[in-house]
Amino acid sequence: MKSMKQHVIAVLLLASAVSGGASVMANEFTVYVVRHAEKAVAESDPPLSEKGQQRAHTLAQMLQKAELKAIYSTPYQRTQMTAQPLAESVGLTVQSYRPGDAEGILEALMARGENTLIVGHSNTVPALVRGLGGQSENLTEQDYGDLFQLTFYDCAGEGEEKRCQLLQTRLMVPTN
């Protein structure tokens, strides 16, 4: 019975986030975490490949009505290019964060309690998801398209004392 209830709640929350509908539960916010899309030939700061650009545009379509208040990305081309189509479609500026400062960005996100997208890397996304209280196995260099949706609800307290219930969904961002 409990798993059916969790499934129904997950479907309702996903429908609300993707459709831009009213909040299903009071005092909730969602943090989306995704690895950058496919990169071009390996170089020190590669841009996205054509397939990666397609995936970035699909991500923008998926989250266009998620009522995002902020988009964060590391300062690398591949992460910035993954976030940019969505940022442009919703009128936000991509804010940079240092990949080694997961704790700082997560504290800020939880304190604000706003719908947010974070674009990271194969070696940072699992730590970000876990740092938010979710579950993620390690990603490989070949893992692209996993979108972690962490919805926090029934939040109480402030600052470091803030506690919320968490519902996690894992989606796939296709290339077409």
Q: Give the chain's domain count.
A: 1
Find the mean pLDDT for residues 76-90.
98
pLDDT at 88 over 90: yes
Can you read off the two tokens belonging to residue 117? 């997208």
Can you read off the two tokens belonging to residue 126? 């699992």
Question: What pLDDT, on a 0 to 100 scale, did the predictor assign at position 22?
Answer: 40
Residue 87 structural domain: 2-172
The identity of residue 97, as a single letter, is: Y
Cβ(124)–Cβ(7) below 8 Å: no
Question: What pLDDT, on a 0 to 100 scale, did the predictor assign at position 159?
Answer: 67
pLDDT tens for 40-52 read 987 789 999 999 9
Question: pTM of whole model > 0.75?
Answer: yes
Three-class DSSP category at 35: strand
pLDDT at 158 over 80: no
pLDDT tens for 17-32 read 444 444 444 579 999 9
Cβ(136)–Cβ(130) below 8 Å: yes
Residue of 108 and 88 predicted with greater confidence: 88
Question: What pLDDT, on a 0 to 100 scale, did the predictor assign at position 160?
Answer: 67
Can you read off the two tokens belonging to residue 75? 């300062």
Q: How many CA atoms lie within 13 A of 23 on its CB side?
A: 14
Q: Return all residues near 125 (Cβ < 8 A) that are at least 6 apart.
A: 33, 34, 35, 136, 139, 146, 148
φ, ψ of residue 45 to 5 degrees: the values are -140, 70
Question: What pLDDT, on a 0 to 100 scale, did the predictor assign at position 49?
Answer: 96
Q: How many CA atoms lie within 13 A of 86 on its CB side?
A: 34
CATH of the domain at 130: 3.40.50.1240
pLDDT at 152 over 80: yes
How many residues in the chain? 176
